[in-house]
Every structure is written in C-alpha cells, then in structure tokens.
Chains A and B, each alone.
Chain A
Amino acid sequence: QSALTQPRSVSGSPGQSVTISCTGTSSDVGSYNYVSWYQQHPGKAPKLMIYDVSKRPSGVPDRFSGSKSGNTASLTISGLQAEDEGDYYCCSYAGTYTFAVFGTGTRVTVL
C-alpha cells in the first residue's frame, strides 16, 4: 500500500486561503469516506483537524474544511493565520489489511 500523495509545501499570506490535496487510489480514498487530516507542529503529536472527509472535531476552527472528489481529498484553510503554520497529513482507511495509510505530508507556511 503506497502513501497518499500530497504537495510538499504550500504557502499563503495571512487572511488568504490555501488548499492541500491528497491523492490516493480507488482502494483507499476513492472507496471510503474515512479520510482524516492532522496538523503537526514541531516536536508535537499530530492533532485531528478533519474526520470522515469533512467533519470538524469540537474546538477546531471553522476555517478548516475538508472535501473529496474521486480519489482525491482536499483540506482548505480559509483566512490563514500565523498559528496555522505547520505540517499537515491526510490519512485514509484502506480496507481489511491496511487500516490506515498516511499522506506524504505538506508544510504550510504563512508568509
């Protein structure tokens, strides 16, 4: 099972919107609505930002949103803020033998 493909980096100015793509296959992202997104700051554990493609856990700002089309999931950060800088990983359920496959990670930089 290969890792999901994400852009290595994206950047934006404060207040702008950025979108991170997460491309998988028909065996993972394309087959299940169990895509999640994680934010990770240096030296910290990942934090769940989006689950079940588009749902936000309590406490996650509504400027974070998720979607999916075919084999590609996306995370959009609207109204970018300085504290949104960090690494973002997508993850998908991939069937009976691979419960979780992570993406290659995207570094978000706030200019």
Chain B
Amino acid sequence: QLQLQESGPGLVKPSETLSLTCSVSGGSISYSSNFWGWVRQPPGKDLEWIGSIYYGGSTYYNPSLKSRVTISVDTSKNQFSLRLSSVTAADTAVYYCARQQPRGALVVVPAAFDSWGQGTLVTVSS
C-alpha cells in the first residue's frame, strides 16, 4: 500500500521560497515509469496541477507557474520535493503530493493521480 506524506513549513513570508517534501513509503520512488506530482487547492477553491517529475528525473510544470517552480527527486531518501519561489498571498493553499499512473507504450505519459498525501496547508503572510 503506497503512502505519501507532505512535510514543510506552514507559514512562508511573501517574496520568499516555499519548500515542501513528499516522503513515499510502501514502494520505491524510482520504480520504472512512475510519475510523481504536486497539486494545490486554495481555501474554498478548485484543484490546480503544479507539476510532475518522471522517475528518471524529467520535469513538467504548469505553464502558469513554470517560471517559479522546481520539482526534484531524492531516490536515496525515497522523497521528492517542491520549491515555489517569489510567493504571494495567492499561493496560500493546501498542497498535495500524489503518484500519477503511467500510460502509453512508445511515449509514456502521466494519467490519473491514484495515491495522495493528506495535504499540508501553506499560508503566505508576513
């Protein structure tokens, strides 16, 4: 049973960098073809895909956030991480990490998010 757990500061100051880590247990993060993603949800609002990383290290970001986002993986710790720079109040949200199902043969793409962390609220405020 795959389990994911987010961790990181719950309060970040405006203009600073938000950093979160997702710890994966019950399976290897470097298992072939897995995608790992970050999704956020502002209070009372809808889900938004932030970005994903392939098990081999390739990264894919939401175009609207691309200039501020970095996702990386640490296979030795079975973790992957999110960094979002120059945050504003609009980045206040619950941040979720999740695994995405790989699909396709010649070209593998990420599909459904089938395992989720519980989420962590990050507030941007001075």
User: Is the pair A99, B112 in contact by a Cβ cutoff of 8 Å?
Assistant: no
Q: Is the interface of B mostly helix, strand, loop or mixed?
A: strand
**CB closest residue in chain B, given A95:** B109
Range of interface residues on chain A?
20 to 34
The total of Cβ contacts below 8 Å across the A-B interface reads: 76
Least CB separation from A34: chain B residue: B111
Query: CA–CA, A47 to B116, complex, Å?
Result: 8
CA of A40 to CA of B61, assembled, Å:
24
B46 contacts across to A, CB distance below 8 A: 3, 89, 102-105
CB within 8 Å for A36 and B47 given contacts A1-B63, A45-B96, A46-B96:
no
Residues of chain B having any CB pair with chain A under 8 Å = 35, 37, 39, 46-49, 51-52, 60, 62-63, 96, 100-101, 103, 109-114, 116-119
Closest 5 CB pairs of A and B: A51-B112, A36-B112, A100-B49, A34-B111, A45-B116
